[in-house]
Amino acid sequence: MLSKIRSAIQSYDPKIYGDVRKSAVLLPLIKRKGEWHILYEVRSQAVSQAGDSSFPGGGVEAGETFEEAAIRETMEELSLREKNIKIIGEIDYIVNQRMVIYCFVGELVNVEFEDIEPNLEVEKIYTVPIQYLLNKGPSYFEVEFDPVISEQFLNEQKEANHSFQLRGLKERIPYYEIQNHRLWGYTANLTDRFIQIIKN
List, for the chain, all residue ranges whose pLDDT scores fall below the cut of 70: 160, 162, 164
Which domain covers residue 58, as residue numbers? 2-133
Q: Which residue from 129, 133, 132, 165 is spatially nearest to 146, judged by alpha carbons?
A: 165
Q: What is the CATH number of the domain that holds 78?
A: 3.90.79.10
pTM metric for this prediction: 0.84
The confidence score (pLDDT) of residue 171 equals: 80
**Do the domain assignments include residue 148?**
no
Q: Are 153 and 120 in contact (CB under 8 A)?
A: no
**Do the domain assignments include residue 185?**
no
**Do the domain assignments include residue 82?**
yes
The secondary structure element, H or E, covering residue 37 is: strand 35-43
The confidence score (pLDDT) of residue 47 equals: 80
**Do the domain assignments include residue 169?**
no
> Number of folded domains in the chain?
1
As a whole number of angstroms, the distance between CA 25 and CA 190 comes to 10
**Do the domain assignments include residue 193?**
no
**Do the domain assignments include residue 74?**
yes
The confidence score (pLDDT) of residue 96 equals: 82
The confidence score (pLDDT) of residue 179 equals: 79
